[in-house]
Amino acid sequence: MAMLQHDRWRGLLRVLLAMLAMALLASACGDTDDGTTGAADDDSPAEEEPEDDTGAETEEPEDEPEEEPAENGDVSFEGETVRVLISQSPGGGFDTYARMLAGAIGNYLPGNPDVIAENMPGGAAVVMSNFLTHQSPRDGTEFGTFLPGVALGAVVDQEGNEFDPHAVNWLGTPLPNVVQCAFRNDLGFETFDDLVESGQTVTVSSTGFGGNTYYVPAILAEYGYGDFDIVIGYEGSSEARLAVEQGEADGICAQGVVDTSPEWFEEGGLASVLIQTGDGTETESIEDVPTWQELDVPEEGRSMMAIADALDGIGRAWAMPPEVPDDVVTVVRDAFETAWTEDEDLLAQAEQGGFPIDFRDHTFTENHVDSITSVEEDQLPLIMKLFYGEES
């Protein structure tokens, strides 16, 4: 009996030792998590430079990378897996655009890495943007697309938001957003004026505070343009749209509704777009639908609309984490732009699927970010209320 016990404990000890060894092995393999491997290595002392990498000029792998940054030609993603992070649940517009890019951008990144798309929904994109800020490797192997509201959230110290809009490396956007508010036809409203004048409480579905499904109806309601009951908590835009089809919500304010639910707007369809953001000059604006810039609102309301329009101008924004070496950023930005503007397959898929593309580079995005981050201190309480539902 004692021998049996002894054997058992010896077995247990062996098992524990084996587990420890496995854990150490996994830990050693996990270096990419903190960015110590990957393309950024090409900017650090290169100990094992791949031979004849991309046919570009090769530099001597010497020990002074900080003094002399490597040439862009040294950046290679060969053998890497690039992760494209998507802040929304699968099935929506963000997801589709991101997956189109994931299918194309590997062709333009040196070393032609594998690219996989990964959804990371939650907290109106705060989960993913925080991940990008803190956890993504700083080597160019991860970049993501998220709701622009996280940039404003960072400005107003939104709880849980640790995104730094000036620290990340913006890549640009394939399409600046215009938010369209669609309402079920069975409500009987033919125009936005009908809705406003009816005084009827209208339920709209929303993915959460900080997103345009929330702040657009909130701003409209604040200045007397509609009595909206905003139901938040839908996991993604596809669930929020389904709520409208189910009758759980009377309408929704979201970008690209006419693209993602085209059957709603056919003859005898479910819903109609009655109002849209912007001033009507944006690519995605719909003719014959009034814009909110046309509404008569006080100056304070106009400034809120301007912030919202800047956020939506950032659109389906893409960024890389902070602290990525400059040469890697340049290479990824070039690949990003080439994919959106020149990749024939991507452009054909976008056309086939009805996904418009109006590419804007990182400078466009940075300008909008600057206008968001320069809000005045006295505007913050109103911003908190209209964008985050927090009454002061």
Partner 1 sequence: MDGATFQALIEGLLSTLNVTTLLLMSAGIVAGFVIGILPGLGGTAALALMLPFTFAMDPVSAFALLLGMLASSTTASDLTSVVLGVPGDAVSTALVLDGYGMSKRGQGGRAIGAVLTSSMLGALAGAFVLAIAVPVVRPIVLAMGSPELFAVTLLGITTVGAVVSGAPIKGLILAAFGVMLSTVGQDPQTGVMRYTFGEPELWGGLGLVPVTIGMFALPEIFDMAVRNTSVAGTAADRIDSVMAGVRDTFRHWWLVLRSAVIAIFIGLLPGLGGSVAQWVSYGHAVQGAKDKDLVGKGAIEGVIGPGTASNAKDGASLIPTVAFGVPGSVSMAILLGAFLIQGLVPGPSMLTTQLPLTFSFVWVLIFSNIVTVVLCLLVARRLRALTTVSGRVLFAPVMVLLLVASFAEKRSFLDVLIMVGFGVLGWFMMKLDWPRAPFVLGFVLGGLAERYLFISVDRYGMGWVTRPGVILLGGLTVLGLVVPITLRIRAARVRGAAEHQQPPEGERADATDAGGPPASGAGSSREPRGST
Q: How many CB atoms lie within 10 A of CB 267?
A: 4
Q: How many helices (H) and strands (E) does the chain have?
A: 13, 11
x/- letters, 257..276, toward partner 1 (CB under 8 A): ---xxxx-------------
Which 276-335 residues touch partner 1, going by CB under 8 A? none
> Tokens in use for 98?
């991101």
Which 70-89 residues touch partner 1, going by CB under 8 A? 89
* CB of residue 231 to partner 1, shortest distance in Å: 5
Q: Does 201 bind partner 1 (CB under 8 A)?
A: no
Q: Does 164 bind partner 1 (CB under 8 A)?
A: no
**Mode of pairing for the β-strands spanning 227-232 and 179-184:** unpaired
List the one residue from 233, 358, 370, 381 that touches partner 1 (CB under 8 A). 233
Size of the site for partner 1 (CB under 8 A): 75
Give the integer Cα–Cα distance in Å for 17 and 20.
5
Would you call 86 helix, strand, or coil by DSSP?
strand
Q: What are phi and psi of 165, to 5 degrees?
A: -65, -20
* CB of residue 59 to partner 1, shortest distance in Å: 30
List the one residue from 90, 111, 290, 322 that touches partner 1 (CB under 8 A). 90
- When the beta carbons of 121 and 313 are compared against partner 1, the nearer one is 121
* CB of residue 127 to partner 1, shortest distance in Å: 6
Q: Does 244 bind partner 1 (CB under 8 A)?
A: no
Which 335-374 residues touch partner 1, going by CB under 8 A? 345, 349, 352-354
> How many angstroms separate the Cα of 63 from the Cα of each of 59, 70, 85, 112, 326?
12, 11, 33, 27, 18
Q: Does 115 bind partner 1 (CB under 8 A)?
A: yes
Stretch that binds partner 1, among 67-75, 180-188, 202-210, 374-382 (CB under 8 A): 202-210
Query: 158 CB contacts (<8 Å, ≥6 apart)?
Result: 126, 152, 210, 388
Q: Does 210 bind partner 1 (CB under 8 A)?
A: yes
- When the beta carbons of 126 and 304 are compared against partner 1, the nearer one is 126
x/- letters, 25..54, toward partner 1 (CB under 8 A): xxx-xx-xx---------------------
The residue whose two tokens read 């309402």 is 183
Which 123-152 residues touch partner 1, going by CB under 8 A? 123-124, 126-127, 130-131, 134-135
CA angle, 325 then 326 then 331, to 5°:
105
Q: Does 182 bind partner 1 (CB under 8 A)?
A: no
**Mode of pairing for the β-strands spanning 251-255 and 179-184:** antiparallel
Q: Does 118 bind partner 1 (CB under 8 A)?
A: yes
DSSP symbols for 18-75: HHHHHHHHHHHHGGGGGTSSSGGGGGS--SSPPTT-SSS------S-TTTSPPPGGG-
